């Protein structure tokens, strides 16, 4: 529907956006698969050098910042593949980069041992409204840090519906909620 010229133009913006993110984050997260210092339409952020924090922790924490997690650990385990489309504004690209830089600071706190390696804002992410608003709060970080890690979230906050789940358990123990085949016999 875009035609050849439109598709070409969209591709140029997608490539520009990926390179912008890669460049803005280069002092925090190395980018894999660069050629002549550039990436294509995606940038693969390498988190493998972190020992106490995983790419999954970062993906879950991004939800607290209002982002859907990027592709996790593909094509390389321990990475995030970020694919900004041609329609992302510079404001949105900067918002994402600012979130990643803030998360990097949280990662550094875990890695340095200044916060508990198992009970911290990254391992507790994502933080649902129910968890943040509950009477009991037994975490060593504040509700403010959990729910509003950057000021702009006070005005526009996406609340994740579900907190952290055990992905491996879910993968190994599927639950079918559909009717069995015998429900369809005549």
Q: Which residues span the domain enclosing 7?
A: 3-175
Domain contains 35: yes
d(CA 107, CA 101): 10
Q: Rounded to the nearest 5°, which phi and psi values hold at 71?
A: -60, 130
Give pLDDT tens digits along the chain (186 positions).
Answer: 889 999 999 999 999 999 999 999 999 999 999 999 999 999 999 999 999 999 999 999 999 999 999 999 999 999 999 999 899 999 999 999 999 999 999 999 999 999 999 999 999 999 999 999 999 999 999 999 999 999 889 998 999 999 988 888 888 988 888 887 777 766
| Residue whose C-alpha is closest to residue 50's, from 88, 93, 103 | 103
Domain contains 56: yes
d(CA 157, CA 163): 16
At residue 186, the pLDDT reads: 60
Which residues have a Cβ under 8 Å from the Cβ of 165 and sit 6 or more positions away? none
For the entire predicted model, the pTM comes to: 0.89
Domain contains 180: no
At residue 181, the pLDDT reads: 75
Domain contains 135: yes
At residue 34, the pLDDT reads: 94
Domain contains 163: yes
Domain contains 169: yes
Domain count, the chain: 1
CATH number of the domain to which 109 belongs: 3.90.1150.10
């Amino acid at each position: 529907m875009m035609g050849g010229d439109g598709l070409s133009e969209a591709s140029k913006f997608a490539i520009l956006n990926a390179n912008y993110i890669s460049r803005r984050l280069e002092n925090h997260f190395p980018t894999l698969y660069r050629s002549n210092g550039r990436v294509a339409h995606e940038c693969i952020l390498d988190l493998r050098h972190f020992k106490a924090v995983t790419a999954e922790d970062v993906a879950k924490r991004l939800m607290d910042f209002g982002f859907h997690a990027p592709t996790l650990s593909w094509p390389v385990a321990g990475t995030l593949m970020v694919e900004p489309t041609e329609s992302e504004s510079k404001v949105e690209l900067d918002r994402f980069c600012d979130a990643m830089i803030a998360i990097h600071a949280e990662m550094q706190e875990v890695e340095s041992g200044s916060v508990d390696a198992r009970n911290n804002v990254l391992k507790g992410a994502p933080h649902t409204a129910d968890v943040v608003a509950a009477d009991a709060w037994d975490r060593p970080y504040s509700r403010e840090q959990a729910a509003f890690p950057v000021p702009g979230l006070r005005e526009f906050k996406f609340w994740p519906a579900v907190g952290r789940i055990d992905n491996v358990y879910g993968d190994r123990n599927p639950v079918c909620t559909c009717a069995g085949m015998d429900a369809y016999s005549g």
